[in-house]
Amino acid sequence: MVTSTFHRLDEEKKKRLMDALIHEFSEHTFSEASINRIVKDANISRGSFYQYFTDKEDCYLFLLQVIAQEKYILFQGVVQQSPHDSVYDEYLGMLDRSILWMKEKPVYYKIGALMDLDNSDFIRNLTKLNPQMMEYFHNLIRRDQERSIIRKDIDPLTLSDMLFSITRSMLTEHFYKQDFTGMIEKAKQIFAIIQAGTQPKENNHV
C-alpha cells in the first residue's frame, strides 16, 4: 500500500514520480520493469522509493488504481446501452467505450496491453476476468435466450468467452496499427454472423 509519505510529497515531485511509473510500465512488462530505471527517471534515490512504496508490486497496483479512477471519470459521460438491447449490442458498446479510452489515454491502454505479454503469477492473478462483469454478460445471454434471441442450447459461458476474445483481439490489433477506421462496422459484421448462427431457427430467415 502506498505510504502516507508519498501523499505528503509536493505536487511537482509527486508528478515526476508518477510520470516515471507511467513511462516504465508503458515501455516494459511488469516483470521486465526496473525500480532502478524508475528512480533514475524520477530523479529520486532508491531509498526514497521504498519510503513511498513497499515494492514494485505496490507501486504497480497504485498506478492501476489511478488509471481506474481516470477511466471511471472519462466514462461518466458516456451513454450506456438500453436495457432492451441484446448482448451483442452490449459488447459493441463496450468496444466503443474502449476505443474512446485508447484515443484519450493511449499510454494507459498500452500498460494494459503489456499485461497480456507477462506470464508472471502476479499479472496472471490481476488479469483474471472480472467475475462480476462476466456474470453480468452471462445473465444477458440467459435473458436473450428467454427472449428467443439466442438458442437455449447455447452455453452462456462459451458464447461470452468467444465474444470477449474477439473484442479484445480487435482492440489490440487496431491499437498497434493506430487505425480505428471502420472498426465498429467490422465488429458489427462479425457479431451479425455470430448472431445468425446462435439465434433460434424460427428467427433465421437466411
pLDDT above 90 covers a percentage of the chain that reads 56
Question: Domain containing 143 — which CATH number?
Answer: 1.10.357
Q: Is residue 60 domain-shared with residue 135, that is, in the same domain?
A: no
Q: Is residue 94 domain-shared with residue 9, that is, in the same domain?
A: no
Query: pTM (2 decimals)?
Result: 0.78
Res. 76: pLDDT tops 70: no
pLDDT digits (tens, 9 = 90+) for 121-153: 999 888 776 677 788 889 999 999 999 999 999
What pLDDT is attached to residue 204?
Answer: 59
Q: Could you tell me if residue 73 is inside a domain?
A: no
Cell numbers of 177, please? 496499427
Q: Is residue 30 domain-shared with residue 106, that is, in the same domain?
A: no
Give me the number of domains the chain comprises.
Answer: 2
pLDDT digits (tens, 9 = 90+) for 153-204: 999 999 999 998 888 888 888 877 777 777 888 889 999 999 999 999 876 5
Res. 11: pLDDT tops 90: yes
pLDDT digits (tens, 9 = 90+) for 19-30: 999 999 999 999
Q: Could you tell me if residue 9 is inside a domain?
A: yes
Q: Could you tell me if residue 72 is inside a domain?
A: no
Q: Is residue 88 domain-shared with residue 139, that is, in the same domain?
A: yes
**Pick from 12, 36, 67: which residue ends a domain?**
67
Q: Is residue 91 domain-shared with residue 176, that is, in the same domain?
A: yes
Q: Give the domain range for residue 27.
A: 4-67
Q: Could you tell me if residue 131 is inside a domain?
A: yes
Average pLDDT for the chain:
88
Q: Is residue 61 domain-shared with residue 82, that is, in the same domain?
A: no
Q: Is residue 62 domain-shared with residue 129, that is, in the same domain?
A: no
Question: Domain containing 16 — which CATH number?
Answer: 1.10.10.60
